[in-house]
């Protein structure tokens, strides 16, 4: 059986693991590889490799670091089809969606190529008599990223491309469910001219995560995953003196007003709710329809569109989405469907028990649609992370905005309307981190920043964009004077710029 390896100090490292995880093919349910789960010693080895590489890499001028990233970007584009095939084979998302995953990662690499400008500090001449002040953004040292299964290309690139561009060295701990693409990313970075040890990949579970969170040489940790684990990562990492950004779960709301373009809205919502089998933190699993007529029109049209969705294997070019990542996750999604029924929501379309001919053991689940969902229902309050769309009915825009604002998660929200006034007010007042106006999945472009509010994010600094540069650097400010030989009599007085 194929064994996936760590990448440490520029070399593939395998074997000698006490524990292994299974890498499954979600299309068939079969085990396709095994992945070593690192113990503390293996994590320490990766951290030491990064520590050894830091002095040289941090002193490499930003133009040279950018050239490595430019070449890395070129190699990602050259190998995008191969990467997409690998990604779909382990995650289950369709090839087109995998290409989108990788392209979004490439976009952040492209942003990081601008590091000579992005990392510049500030300068003030003659801030005082003969005194100049300037600042520098310095790398932190060895840093780490802990990434989820649902975006095994994009989210690692969000983290390490900006981090290493700033002069840090990096230890990546990807999901053990689909680890092959992260390994290939590191290999391509090395091929692009990245020095050994600058970017390392070590596989593992909680043992590896805890070691990264407590290791004295790791200065910062970035995490994306569920909210409970994000909160744990933030609390543990900060307790050990680390800078931490931890992105958690979501329950994004799509508010539909009576004046929306209903045909376009239904099309957008169906794609946002069921694309990638709903396994996106920026999926749109809740529609809040304002007014009975609006809700009735939406449910009628959405039901037809959902029934016509094609669920297929990840290599089926005609499939709208593929299997979910594991049998356990499918079971969890189906338990939430049963919960919704038990809580009194109206089940309009049931995706449980879906079997794909020829792939009966695959982890497939059909599209599911609920109407008459109430805010007090647990199935509404919690993240399902699957192809399940819930419709909540309200009477006013204010009620709709209040639902998104008071929900425990605050990743994103969208509004569908022809009213600029309504959209502007909603975008200003709703308490979430990212808002879409007639845009169902408002993931910002790479040169802006990604991040939610409330239990969707722990820490004060967002992913990628200018916020990413700030997270992966610390600022040093220098105040300088070149005396002309005269002796000041102010030595015992706090200096001022007068």
Confidence category of residue 484, pLDDT binned at 50, 70, 90: confident
Mean pLDDT computed over 230-246: 97
Q: What average pLDDT is seen over the chain?
A: 95
pLDDT of residue 380: 98
pLDDT of residue 1: 84
Q: Count other C-beta atoms under 10 Å from residue 331's C-beta.
A: 12
> Tell me: the pLDDT tens digits for 241-289?
999 999 999 999 999 999 999 999 999 999 999 999 999 999 999 999 9
Confidence category of residue 17, pLDDT binned at 50, 70, 90: confident
Residue 15 has pLDDT above 80, yes or no: no
Mean pLDDT computed over 168-196: 98
Mean pLDDT computed over 105-115: 97
Please list the residue range(s) of the chain that carry CATH number 3.40.309.10: 253-437
User: Pick the catalytic residue: 157, 166, 260, 281?
Assistant: 281
Is 200 within 8 Å of 46 (Cβ atoms)?
Answer: yes
pLDDT of residue 497: 62
> Tell me: the pLDDT tens digits for 367-419?
999 999 999 999 999 999 999 999 999 999 999 999 999 999 999 999 999 99
pLDDT of residue 498: 63
pLDDT of residue 16: 72
Residue 490 has pLDDT above 90, yes or no: no
Q: Which CATH architecture has domain 2-248+456-478?
A: 3-Layer(aba) Sandwich (3.40)
Q: Are strands 131-139 and 473-481 parallel, antiparallel or unpaired?
A: antiparallel
Phi, psi angle pair for 149, to nearest 5°: -75, -25
Percent of the chain surpassing pLDDT 90 = 94
pLDDT of residue 129: 85
Residue 337 has pLDDT above 60, yes or no: yes
Residue 424 has pLDDT above 90, yes or no: yes
Confidence category of residue 130, pLDDT binned at 50, 70, 90: confident
Residue 492 has pLDDT above 60, yes or no: no
Confidence category of residue 489, pLDDT binned at 50, 70, 90: low
Q: Is 281 a catalytic residue?
A: yes
- Distances 231 to 65, 278, 351 between C-alpha atoms, Å: 33, 23, 32
β-sheet bridge partners, residue 222:
145, 245
Mean pLDDT computed over 453-458: 95
* CATH class entry, domain 253-437: alpha beta
3-state secondary structure the chain: CEECCEEECCEEECCCCCCEEEEECCCCCCEEEEEECCCHHHHHHHHHHHHHHHHHHHHCCHHHHHHHHHHHHHHHHHCHHHHHHHHHHHHCCCHHHHHHHHHHHHHHHHHHCCHHHHCCCCEEEEEECCEEEEEEEEECCEEEEECCCCCCCHHHHHHHHHHHHCCCEEEEECCCCCCHHHHHHHHHHHHCCCCCCCEEECCCCHHHHHHHHHCCCEEEEEEECCHHHHHHHHHHHHHCCCEEEEECCCCCEEEECCCCCHHHHHHHHHHHHHHHHHCCCCCCCEEEEECHHHHHHHHHHHHHHHHCCCECCCCCCCCCECCCCCHHHHHHHHHHHHHHHHHCCEEEECCCCCCECCECCCCCCCCEEEECCCCCCHHHHCCCCCCEEEEEEECCHHHHHHHHHHCCEECEEEEECCCHHHHHHHHHHCCCCEEEECCCCCCCCCCCCECCEECCEECCCCECHHHHHHHCEEEEEEEEECCCCCCCCCCCCCCCCC
> Tell me: the pLDDT tens digits for 289-304?
999 999 999 999 999 9
pLDDT of residue 488: 62
Mean pLDDT computed over 39-43: 96
pLDDT of residue 429: 95
pLDDT of residue 483: 82
pLDDT of residue 289: 98
């Amino acid at each position: 059986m194929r064994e996936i390896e760590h990448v440490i100090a520029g070399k593939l490292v395998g074997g000698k693991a006490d524990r292994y995880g299974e890498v499954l093919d979600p299309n068939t349910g079969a085990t396709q590889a095994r992945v070593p789960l690192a113990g503390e010693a293996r994590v320490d080895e990766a951290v030491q490799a990064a520590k050894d590489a830091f002095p040289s890499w941090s002193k490499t001028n930003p133009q040279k670091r950018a050239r490595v990233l430019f070449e890395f970007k070129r190699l990602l584009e050259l190998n995008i089809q191969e990467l997409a095939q690998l990604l779909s084979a382990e995650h289950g998302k369709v090839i087109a969606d995998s290409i989108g995953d990788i392209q979004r990662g490439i976009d952040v690499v492209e942003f990081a190529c601008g590091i000579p400008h992005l990392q510049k500090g500030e300068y003030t001449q003659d801030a005082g008599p003969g005194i100049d002040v300037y600042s520098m953004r310095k790398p932190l040292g060895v840093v780490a990223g802990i990434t989820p299964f649902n975006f095994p290309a994009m989210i690692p690139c969000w983290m390490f491309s900006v981090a290493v561009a700033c002069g840090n060295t990096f230890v990546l701990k990807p999901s053990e469910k689909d680890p092959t693409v992260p390994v290939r990313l590191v290999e391509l970075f090395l091929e692009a001219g990245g020095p050994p040890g600058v970017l390392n990949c070590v596989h593992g579970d909680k043992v590896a995560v805890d070691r990264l969170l407590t290791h004295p040489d790791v200065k910062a940790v970035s995490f994306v995953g569920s909210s409970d684990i994000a909160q744990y990562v933030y609390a543990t990492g900060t307790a050990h003196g680390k800078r931490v950004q931890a992105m958690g779960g979501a329950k994004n709301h799509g508010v539909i007003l009576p004046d929306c373009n209903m045909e376009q809205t239904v099309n957008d919502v169906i794609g946002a709710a069921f694309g990638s089998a709903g396994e996106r933190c920026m999926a749109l699993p809740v529609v809040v329809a304002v007014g009975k007529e609006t809700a009735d029109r939406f449910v009628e049209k959405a039901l037809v569109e959902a029934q016509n969705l094609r669920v297929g294997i990840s290599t089926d070019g005609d499939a709208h989405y593929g299997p979910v990542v594991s049998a356990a996750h499918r079971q969890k999604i189906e338990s939430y469907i049963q919960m919704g029924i038990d809580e009194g929501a109206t089940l309009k379309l049931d995706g449980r028990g879906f079997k794909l001919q020829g792939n009966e053991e695959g982890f497939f689940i059909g599209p599911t649609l609920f109407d008459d969902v109430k805010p007090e229902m647990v199935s509404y309050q919690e993240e399902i992370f699957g192809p399940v769309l819930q419709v909540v009915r309200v009477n006013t825009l204010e009620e709709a905005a209040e639902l998104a604002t008071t929900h425990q998660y605050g990743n994103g929200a969208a509004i569908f309307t022809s009213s600029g006034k309504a959209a502007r007010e909603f975008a200003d007042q709703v308490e979430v981190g990212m808002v879409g106006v007639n845009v169902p999945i408002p993931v910002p472009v790479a040169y802006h920043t990604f991040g939610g509010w409330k239990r969707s994010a722990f820490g004060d600094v967002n992913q990628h964009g200018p916020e990413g540069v700030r997270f992966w650097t610390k600022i040093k400010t220098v105040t300088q004077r070149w005396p002309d030989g005269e002796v000041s009599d102010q030595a015992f007085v706090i200096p001022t710029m007068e």
